[in-house]
Chains A and B, each alone.
Chain A
Amino acid sequence: MPTVSLVCEGFERQAAATGRGLGFDDLPLALLQGHVDAQSYDDMVVSFLAHTVDQIVAGLTSPIREPEEGTGDPSALDVVASGTIDDIHRLFVMNAWSDGLAIIPPTRERVEGFIAPSGHDPWRVIGTARPSGRDITVWSVAVNAVMAGCEPAQLPVLLAIADVLVDPHYGVEHSGNTTGADALIVLNGPVITELGFNHGPGAMRDGAGAPNTVVARWLRLFLRNVCDFTADEHDKATFGNSSRVVLAEDEAAIAEIGWAPVADEFGHPMGTDAVTMARMNSGLIIGSVFGSTPEQILPYLADGIARVSGWDLTHVYGLGQGHFRPLLVLSPVLARIFGKAGWSKRDVQEALFLQARIPAWRFEKLIGEWSNLTAGRRTLVDLAADGSVPTLFGESADPDRLVPVVTAPDKIVIAVAGDPNRTNAYVLSHDGPHGDWTSKPIDRSYSTDLVCSIDNRDACS
């Protein structure tokens, strides 16, 4: 069926790239000049009638060219460049294959050597990368891992992250969306200590733990090279966030107070190696927390969750519905205050749900006036009446009443990490279904799926 897609002019290249990822090289577009959210109604309509309507008609009625045979892309084993390390570095930057930091040249021998200890079939297709339409294979994972400086022992962690990327629940195709949220990988299980991930001081700092840093860098390179999140194609982040290193939890502290790790909330109990990922927007430090009881420290923690929740409330209702799940990272000493008082993680979540609240007027302005993401300017009372949000959001029409920033206590995800003896917490807002919390187990057993040699690709399938 003939279609034409309306996009603001700043999205023309992204729309074309999305079409390519779906197999359409010449998807008809009609451009809206400028950005409609910054135009008066009259200016918008004048521009629309003068420039856009003809493109809509043309998109539905003008012939479009037939798809071309073949892409001209190299095959996996083709040598695409030869040269010194400086030559390779410059070429990869020029082709937008690298983030600009130094890379390990991905020679065939290095990539083969990276995969070999795991026993994995290099040509196994894990899934299709969205929105690029490219294949996610063990080989493509490994090439970018070599570049990032990863160790072969980290391959199972990377493959588990790849499993997250192909899960529709995660929504990797949104990784270049407006707010520039970046993925946060939470790591649990014995893999943390066995592979040397840092869960202590500087747990979220670049370079504080080499495994935390290179695994996260691999994800950025993989999103760039295989999912095509570059500014020329799918990355439409207005500003973007710095890459986030892997957050490994302090499982000894968690066990000591009888809590469960983050992965447990998503089906992988304590003792299971697992990655749990979501895309996070803003981060906010809750510094120098003062108090020795849960009652004393909760108001400050709750205030942090309320303050970090702004645009993202569109994932309570709007772009998402009940999807907003902020992350609170407690230092071990703060977590022990709750543990010492006999509070479970659920107790903390319920207390935060009660205290992390904002005035209803502010909530409504954030989702439907200061932004224009909830069509029709619907109030929380309206939304509660039709079941779009829980009833407690619409218990009165008083604009000053306090309402939660999430739809249920368990929507607040809690992790424990960082300097064990510092009284600080960190909270991150969440991009809802544009990177929804998704967890996958890490299989570090020797794989038996290698049934072919790298040279004999046909035999692999």
Chain B
Amino acid sequence: METTYDVVWPKAPRGAQAKRPAARLDTLVGKRIAFAWDYLFRGDELFPVLADELRRRYEGVEIVNYDVFGNLHGPQEHELVNALPDALAMHRIDGVVSGNGC
């Protein structure tokens, strides 16, 4: 009779606990929206289009552009990402659009 084996799981549990997502906004009217960019994949062309479209659709929406937060995937990635929560608070941001992952 052929030998059989009882094997254990080769993966590992996730130490990171499930997190509760932030409450969504009721509307974008009058809100301050930040753009956070990795300076890749044509964000410099798409974010201006998005800014115009959001302003057209939602009265009083304010855009805080990506250059305020720097290149989040460049040479200063770690320090800029670590600084992001304070920067978002300082600019009284209500929501963030980040990109681009391609």
Residues of B close to A79: CB separation below 8 A: 6-8
Q: Are B10 and A64 in contact (CB under 8 A)?
A: no
Which A residue sits closest to B27, measured CB to CB?
Answer: A61
A281 within 8 Å of B (CB atoms) = no
B90 within 8 Å of A (CB atoms) = no
Q: Are B10 and A147 in contact (CB under 8 A)?
A: yes
A354 within 8 Å of B (CB atoms) = no
Q: Are A14 and B97 in contact (CB under 8 A)?
A: no
Q: Are B75 and A320 in contact (CB under 8 A)?
A: yes
A369 to chain B, nearest CB (A): 14
Q: Are A135 and B11 in contact (CB under 8 A)?
A: no
Residues of B close to A61: CB separation below 8 A: 24-28
A45 to chain B, nearest CB (A): 5
Counting residue pairs across A and B whose Cβ atoms lie within 8 Å, the total is 231
Which B residue sits closest to A69, measured CB to CB?
Answer: B18
A385 within 8 Å of B (CB atoms) = no
Residues of A close to B27: CB separation below 8 A: 61
Q: Are A7 and B24 in contact (CB under 8 A)?
A: no
A129 within 8 Å of B (CB atoms) = yes
B20 to chain A, nearest CB (A): 6
Q: Are A83 and B100 in contact (CB under 8 A)?
A: no
Convert A81-107 into 0s and 1s, putting 1 for each residue whose CB lies closer than 8 angstroms to a CB of B.
111110110001000010000000111
A169 to chain B, nearest CB (A): 9
Residues of B close to A77: CB separation below 8 A: 8
Q: Are A6 and B99 in contact (CB under 8 A)?
A: yes
Of A31-39, A253-261, A285-293, A439-447, the one touching chain B = A31-39
Residues of B close to A37: CB separation below 8 A: 41-42, 102
Q: Which has the most chain A C-beta neighbours within 10 Å: B13, B17, B57, B71?
A: B13
Report the Cα distance A14→B11, complex, angstroms.
Answer: 18
Residues of A close to B96: CB separation below 8 A: 1-4
Q: Are B6 and A21 in contact (CB under 8 A)?
A: no
Given contacts A61-B24, A107-B5, contact A53 B53 (CB under 8 A): yes
In this complex, how many residues of chain B approach chain A with their Cβ under 8 Å: the count is: 58
In this complex, how many residues of chain A approach chain B with their Cβ under 8 Å: the count is: 95
Residues of A close to B45: CB separation below 8 A: 41, 44-45
Q: Are B14 and A67 in contact (CB under 8 A)?
A: no
A269 to chain B, nearest CB (A): 28
Given contacts A22-B19, A26-B21, contact A1 B12 (CB under 8 A): no
Which B residue sits closest to A228, measured CB to CB?
Answer: B11
Q: Which of A63, A111, A135 contacts B8 (CB 8 A)?
A: A111
Report the Cα distance A80→B24, complex, angstroms.
Answer: 39
For window 9-44 of B, CB contacts with A under 8 Å fall at 9-28, 33, 39-44
Q: List 8 A-B contacts (CB under 8 A).
A: A5-B99, A35-B102, A61-B26, A85-B5, A97-B11, A135-B12, A320-B75, A372-B40
Q: Which A residues fall within an 8 A CB radius of B?
A: 1-8, 10-11, 14-15, 20-27, 30, 32, 35-37, 41, 44-45, 48-49, 53, 56-57, 60-64, 66-69, 71, 73-85, 87-88, 92, 97, 105-108, 111, 125, 128-129, 132-137, 139-140, 143-144, 147, 168, 221, 225-226, 317-323, 372-373, 375-376, 433
